[in-house]
Chains A and B, each alone.
Chain A
Amino acid sequence: MNQAADAQPAPVEQQALKSGTSRRWLLAATLTTLLVALPVGAVLVLALFPDDNIWPHLVQTTLPIYLTNTIKLMLGVSVLTLVIGVGTAWLVTMCQFPGRRFFEWALLLPFAVPAYVIAYVYTALLDYAGPVQAALRDAFGWQNAGDYWFPAIRSLPGAILMIGLVLYPYIYLLARAAFLEQSPSLFAVSRSLGQSALGTFFRVVLPIARPAIAVGLSLVLMETLNDFGTVDFFAVNTLTAGLFDTWMNLGNLGGAAQIASIMLAFVLILVTLERYSRRRQQQYAARDMRDPLQRFALSRPRQAACLVACSFPLLLGFVVPAAVLGYYAVEYFAESWTDDFLENAVNSLFLSGTAALSTLLIGLLLAYSRRLHDTAGMRVLMRLSSLGYAMPGAVLAVGVIVPLAAFDNWLDLRMERWLGWNTGLLLSGTAFAIVFAYTVRFLAVSAGSLESALQKITPSMDMAARSLGMPAGKTLLRVHLPMLKGTLLTAALVVFVDCMKELPATLILRPFNFETLATYVYQYASDEMLRQSGLPALVIVVAGIIPVVLMSRSIAASREFH
């Protein structure tokens, strides 16, 4: 499929672009964005009415610590995920070594492990009472903790390691896709002009892959910023900890919403800076597919080094936690394998599947509308629609309750007045509220990846289709969708896995007696009873593996197909 269409596009009539269809797209995109931005808007409104001004107290006492810890955490996680993600992506894409094809998909596996679960597992393994230290004490005859030094897992470095290990796949996934899309001839040209392989990597390959890596990193950073489970468990006081303290202990929801808004601004600035720094770059896929990808043939020791480099993240991020959970699952199988367990699994699958579908549809609507109307307004809409991702789940949940409950109560009052019926709470406290929250939260994932994938399709394709009389909707269906198949699948699966793991919003929004696998795991794990929840935790991980494998296949296939 040669994307650089040779045919001169026929001049497109101005009329065609301003046609009714096109305006309908814009309207639909605007309305959807407003709907999706409601919860974030609700939080911003709450921020305007704090019970008390928390800032003088915070600034005088703990704010500097919260800020330093947050920045250290974000920096540490960035470095770790970039090194692991970009490094392994490059190795499996460009180097020939035994096990390469296995690592291609296996390196995605840690993505299926929720950060709070990996934190519990490593604490169980590495703290004083765990098997590692016990073995060391046995071996060296130490009596108690005073006799030796062992790195504390419950610490800032520990948190960086835990979060980094399960989030690097975001970067790996996007970096690998970007490397695969690059034309091998670019690489050849660079080498023939005298650049070393490493020089080429840093001067040619990385700059071209930068937009994709930046998307991955911004997802990583947003997840890190709003992580509560891990930092709370490790007693690392970040801004999120301050937020919950203000909310739960000082009872100041408005103040908490202010902290959430500041975190939001933080993310917005980061993303904007990144975009601004490459504002003059526009990349279309100019793939020259005549050359097949040439992988480096490596010497034996180098092959071994590749193998080790790729094994580490897989081992630490997936094999160890999965093995520990598997052990617990077997040990407590009889207690865990109940009807409730099956019902919880169905709940998780249903919610995550529905949310994956809805984020995909909305993401497509927004990304394509932006393609039709590449205006400043539309770009703002895109950004607005992805704000939910940068907000801690529990805060977002309150943001979801506010408009939904207001709507329910408004409707109930109207219906009572006009018809004498009570509709009660139609939306709040139902699965709809949860799916809505998931959609708001993870729309950034699907909209972002669809947007960047669409951008890579040269506009001459649209022009050709449209000038041949195809309306906008049909062009999307017949021209873009087939080319986006891989991206669509990837986006849907990432959202699916994310939803399977989501905890804080689900806890607050769910109906009565309603458990997902994640909430079920939490009620035990939060009470230091991880062993009892080994099976459901393992199922969350396994459910995450299936999409991960599919995802990887589709990416590999997209390469072979061309």
Chain B
Amino acid sequence: MRSRLTAIAILAILLNLPLAAMAAGEVNIYSYRQPYLLEPLLDAFTRKTGIEANVVFARNGLAERLQREGRNSPADLVMTVDIARLNELVERDLTEAVTTATLEQDIPASLRHPEGKWYGLTSRARLIFAAKDRVEPGEITTYEELADPKWKGRICTRSGKHPYNVALFASMIAHHGEAKAQQWLQGLKDNLARRPQGGDRDQIVAIAEGVCDIALGNSYYYGKMLEDENQRAAAESVNLIFPNAGGRGTHINISGMALTHSAPNRDNAIKLMEYLTTPEAQTIYATVNYEYPANPEVPPSDVVAGWGTLHPDDLPLNTIAENREAAVKMVDRVNYDN
């Protein structure tokens, strides 16, 4: 029985060798972002350099996999959609500091790790969406006002545990201290029209449906909704508000990349990192995904620019990452999701 099992095992490995083999001219990516979103960028990179890019996508577990695979891990790059994941990689000492003239020139210091252990590729603003017909322009301009009792039963958000919300709440802790932030979060919770559910797009749809008047969501979702004929009407029923634009600035999060310690294709990986920060790649991010390019030389797409001007909160991203655990526990304490 065991010999047959061994045979199966060997067969399985043999069949897989072509997939696992590391030929020259490759770069391997562990990605928290769906491959179809990366594809246009990676295809352009391959066309330019001849280097093939291979991807494993998962929502969780990739950091564990990388850590356990250790020095033999095939992964060269990790790509994430949130500062917290990048920070986690650094804390587990899985990333390699890398600095090149191109990277330092393309990415502003505020959007990269001081030693080059990660680089931001795009930033996304956490916006307030408001029903055009039920909320006056100027009626709400800050995150703080979300806790105002006048919005009782009128606000929708996704789960408070979602990384995008956690990061926003962490920034509130950084600005106001934990006690004040918790008071604010309790106020926001008391204003919710329904139990947190769905994604950011669902909240905008809920405004169109009349379930609520105000929602929180990342900027690029709005662009994606305008593109989708089934969701365009919902998107057109709301106004975009850049919260705190007149004060400390709007909360942003980043998508980013990090080089692994063990990277077997280090040179190719750095080539890809540099490519992704070039104006060419950054333009793809801006136009296809409606994100804010990290490279200051590349303007946001015309569609995004039409929404208004982004004044990002200059709170260091590391501070947001450091307050994350406190933010998650705060979400539990006010019982935000139930």
Asked whether, in the complex, the Cβ of B2 is within 8 Å of the Cβ of A31, the reply is: yes
At the interface with chain B, which of A179-187, A216-224, A400-408, A554-562?
A400-408
Q: A394 touches which one: B60, B161, B199 (CB < 8 A)?
A: B60
Q: B338 touches which one: A65, A253, A397, A512 (CB < 8 A)?
A: A65
Say yes or no for A143: interface residue by CB 8 A criterion.
yes
Asked whether, in the complex, the Cβ of A524 is within 8 Å of the Cβ of B36, the reply is: yes
Q: CA A402 – CA B36 in complex, angstroms?
A: 29
Within 8 A of B (CB), among A386-433: 394, 397-398, 401-402, 405-406, 408-409, 412, 422, 424-432
Say yes or no for A235: interface residue by CB 8 A criterion.
yes
- Among residues of A, the one whose C-beta sits closest to the C-beta of B197 is A235
Mostly, the A contact residues are helix
- Among residues of A, the one whose C-beta sits closest to the C-beta of B225 is A528
- As a 0/1 sequence over residues 422 to 466 of chain A, the CB contacts with chain B under 8 angstroms (1 = contact) are 101111111110010000000000000000000000000000000
Known: A235-B337, A365-B1, A409-B72. A432 touches B16 (CB 8 A): yes
Known: A57-B329, A248-B60, A250-B328. A512 touches B13 (CB 8 A): no
Known: A251-B88, A425-B20. A128 touches B209 (CB 8 A): yes
- Chain A residues near B166: list those with CB within 8 A: 249
- Chain B residues near A195: list those with CB within 8 A: none
Asked whether, in the complex, the Cβ of B12 is within 8 Å of the Cβ of A435, the reply is: yes
Which of B64, B198, B324, B325 has the most C-beta atoms of chain A within 10 angstroms of its own C-beta?
Answer: B64
- As a 0/1 sequence over residues 80 to 113 of chain B, the CB contacts with chain A under 8 angstroms (1 = contact) are 0000000010010000000000000000000000
- Chain A residues near B73: list those with CB within 8 A: 425
Q: CA A398 – CA B36 in complex, angstroms?
A: 25
Within 8 A of A (CB), among B1-60: 1-2, 4-5, 8-9, 11-13, 15-16, 19-20, 28, 34-36, 54-60
Q: CA A11 – CA B60 in complex, angstroms?
A: 59
At the interface with chain B, which of A77-85, A355-363, A494-502?
A355-363
Say yes or no for B332: interface residue by CB 8 A criterion.
yes
Say yes or no for A468: interface residue by CB 8 A criterion.
no
- Chain B residues near A28: list those with CB within 8 A: 1-2
Asked whether, in the complex, the Cβ of A409 is within 8 Å of the Cβ of B70, the reply is: yes
Asked whether, in the complex, the Cβ of A405 is within 8 Å of the Cβ of B68, the reply is: yes
Say yes or no for A350: interface residue by CB 8 A criterion.
yes
Asked whether, in the complex, the Cβ of B74 is within 8 Å of the Cβ of A249, the reply is: no
Q: CA A527 – CA B227 in complex, angstroms?
A: 14
- Among residues of B, the one whose C-beta sits closest to the C-beta of A514 is B19
Asked whether, in the complex, the Cβ of A510 is within 8 Å of the Cβ of B196, the reply is: no
Known: A358-B5, A511-B56, A512-B55. A65 touches B335 (CB 8 A): yes
Say yes or no for B201: interface residue by CB 8 A criterion.
yes
Say yes or no for B123: interface residue by CB 8 A criterion.
no
- Chain B residues near A234: list those with CB within 8 A: 197
Say yes or no for B65: interface residue by CB 8 A criterion.
yes
Say yes or no for A2: interface residue by CB 8 A criterion.
no
Chain B residue total in the interface (Cβ 8 A) = 64
Say yes or no for B306: interface residue by CB 8 A criterion.
no
Say yes or no for A154: interface residue by CB 8 A criterion.
yes
Say yes or no for A93: interface residue by CB 8 A criterion.
no
Asked whether, in the complex, the Cβ of B60 is within 8 Å of the Cβ of A154, the reply is: no
Interface residues on A, range: 35 or more
Say yes or no for B271: interface residue by CB 8 A criterion.
no
Known: A365-B1, A397-B61, A528-B201. A432 touches B70 (CB 8 A): no
- Chain B residues near A358: list those with CB within 8 A: 5, 8
Which of A145, A248, A512, A519 has the most C-beta atoms of chain B within 10 angstroms of its own C-beta?
Answer: A512
- Chain B residues near A248: list those with CB within 8 A: 60, 163
Asked whether, in the complex, the Cβ of A431 is within 8 Å of the Cβ of B328, the reply is: no
- Among residues of A, the one whose C-beta sits closest to the C-beta of B62 is A508
Q: B60 touches which one: A143, A408, A508, A513 (CB < 8 A)?
A: A508
- Chain A residues near B57: list those with CB within 8 A: 507, 519, 523
- 15 new A-B contacts at CB < 8 Å, known A357-B8, A427-B13, A524-B36: A61-B329, A128-B205, A129-B205, A129-B209, A145-B210, A245-B328, A249-B166, A250-B329, A354-B11, A394-B61, A425-B20, A431-B15, A511-B56, A523-B35, A527-B34
What is B's interface to A at a CB cutoff of 8 Å?
Answer: 1-2, 4-5, 8-9, 11-13, 15-16, 19-20, 28, 34-36, 54-62, 64-65, 68-74, 88, 91, 159, 161, 163, 166, 195-199, 201-202, 205-206, 209-211, 230, 234, 324-325, 328-329, 332-333, 335, 337-338
26 A–B contacts from the bound complex (CB under 8 Å): A57-B329, A57-B332, A144-B210, A145-B210, A146-B211, A235-B196, A235-B337, A245-B328, A249-B324, A249-B328, A350-B15, A354-B8, A361-B4, A362-B1, A398-B61, A401-B65, A401-B68, A428-B65, A429-B56, A430-B19, A432-B9, A509-B65, A513-B19, A513-B54, A523-B36, A524-B34
Sorted nearest first, the 5 A-B pairs with minimum C-beta distance are A144-B210, A512-B54, A235-B197, A508-B61, A61-B332
